[in-house]
Chains A and B, each alone.
Chain A
Amino acid sequence: MIDLALIGDGATLLATWQMPLVIVGGMLLGLVIGAIPGMTAALGLAAILPLTFKLDALTALMLMTSVYTGSLTGGGFLAVLINTPGTPGAAATTFDGYPMAKAGRQNEALGLQIAASVVGGLISYLALLFFIQPMADFALLFGSAEMLFLTIFVLILIASLQRKSFARTIFAGIVGLLLSTIGTSVSTGVARGTYGLDALADGLPIILCVIGMFAIPELISIVAREAISVDPGRGAKARDIVAGMRDGLRYRWTWARGALIGTFVGLLPAAGATVASLLSYSAASRAAKPGERFGEGEPKGVVAAESANNASEGGAMAILMSLGIPGSASTAVISGAFLLHGLVPGPRLFIDNGDIVYGLILGNLLQMLALGVFAVAVASQIARIVTVPSRLLAPALTIIIALGAYSYRGLWEDIVITFAFGLIGYVFRRHHFTLIALMIGLFLGAQIDEDFVRFVILYGDRPATLLERPIVAAFAVLSLALIALQVRLAIRERRA
């Protein structure tokens, strides 16, 4: 299961003077990139990829993964400070992180988020070190039918978290799924819903839609207030962030559960971080003790979401290195870095370059420790954003969002799409069509579309055989149970 000699070789490869430099530089760059609305980790990684030509393979990969780690955590800063998930995986962080920021507790929320990210990442890379093969086998259990039923289950799960708007949440999720299928169908080559626009031929730019529909409604909301925080006197204090980190470590069961969920659900391509953080948040809110108010600034909510979010990074790297499958745009760019340096991700990577792989895993464990320090430094500066007068902040962030949108594909239409989704997001949010459900639909729909075609070809004439697949049957039963529970609760409330 684990080769100690290879781990020793990997550790030796790490002992160079360049290594601390690339970890620190990459981490800071990633944190800043993650904290810019509209800038994606994939874009940052693509921008620095040419810089790695002259570096040796391990140093180059360490730089890339440092940027990746930093950007995942930086994306969480936005979720806490302006209610905008910088990455889809940070969506669940907004549930409690932003209410804390609005109440002037942004430093505490950032501390909780950083601590949970560090712990989640550490646990997932430890799991990667010891269990990479079983993790890859687990991921292979998820075929097209399993992914389809997992998505249905997640949408119902989110709706059950938004009990008062259950129907609207399902409606938003279905609209998201439909929107995500716009563009050229992968299985048939037919262009759907593009209205002749070239910009839509490859489908909607999902991450820009997500940024638009979360950031713009928030900006519309804050322009009528003085600033984001109700307590502008408490801007950025590193000491408070560190205190928040200490608090975060107290919720042992919450982060341990989140890290485990994140590590294993993070293995699923496309869905990993988002589904993991939502499942972890859901598990934590269902285990809430009396007095814990999830959705209104409960610290455990931030810890649950972020520990799973960062733990998914280990899962994504496991699936990339062991099977050669990049689960996201970011890991696709990292996979490009592997190839650039003569390493082919997949089963033979461990046989041919085991020392580099274990060096990379050990280096990522070091990164997680460094993350704790550098994230506090960056967060304490970025946290000042909540005290900036909204009459200056809103125009500035709007320009930055437009820049990020344009940078994504170099298309002006992407700015229009981002702003349009901002207005859609505003209407949806104002009338309780849950944005998270819309986002999940958008994010998973394209994959589901492909899976569904495969599913119909394989099982179209005998759908009942699907239930013989244990994971499918489990998700089907859980989905029905959740719906039954909602109906029962609604009837009970009506009678009361």
Chain B
Amino acid sequence: MTDTTIPQTGGLRLPSMSVLGPIIALVVLLIIGAMLNSNFLSAANITNVLARSAFIGIIAVGMTFVITAGGLDLSVGSMAAFIAGLMILVMNAALPSMGIGIPIILLGMLTAIVAGMLAGLLNGFLITTLGIEAFIVTLGSMGIYRSLVTWLADGGTLSLDFGLRSFYRPVYFDGILGISWPIIVFAVVVIIGEIIMSRTVYGRHCAATGSNEHVAHYSNVNVRRTRLISYAALGILVGIATIMYVPRLGSASASTGVLWELEAIAAVIIGGTVLKGGFGRVWGTVIGVLILSLIGNILNLTDFVSPYLNGAIQGVIIILAVILQRERKAAS
């Protein structure tokens, strides 16, 4: 992975390292995984990795917009836990009157999306209208949602009614043509996100806002609204991720979604989006998410390193993936 010096003078012009970096890192990981374990490329393992990437992935797509527009959201992990808890409470409460069926699942989904949107709007309102630093606002709401879910669960675990869980379970484990629902939803979110980011006015407004707020403002970009929408959209995506998460284990507790925010942010940055804002790449985020999931997967599939060192390996690969992108700047 070290000899990645790309001949800049060659006749054939390769895409820049910032584009190639994350792709190279992903390919290297895939090769390492395939060499270390024969089951790595099996359909079951690939499905597992993609499906478990979906939660962070869906959230990270929203995070790409927030970061591109010059913001940050640290609250998404605990927001997911809180929404999961709320969704379980609402569905359990509606069970006696509605019975097990499609309507109660739709009610749960609606709860998640509305709660996510409101939570996102609240973050966005405090950041844009009241002008408080995004880091501080979302650090605060991170603590608030984490405490709320602990309180709702009485320090224990909120569990979906068993019959209801069996009915809802296929939303995580089943799918169409062998592709499970989380993967399909993740793919749809990514495609829509990529189109909005690279082909619409809103995507350009996000980049302009993140790049230079004042210039964007004088160029007739509604900075405040652009940011507000990015936080609300992220909230909705957290709701969608939760809809996929709840049927998996049917429960939520204080330990749900811990550190998801940092994984999402890391995925966005590995993918080539600039942490300071101004430039975002949705497809890059997808690669970032896959890199993070694959590291964990490969470490579990091999006895290569002590499990105590898993975090260290992840850290090294995150930093390497980002260094790969900087190669070009350092050389020029």
A binds B: no
Name A's B-contacting residues (CB within 8 A): none
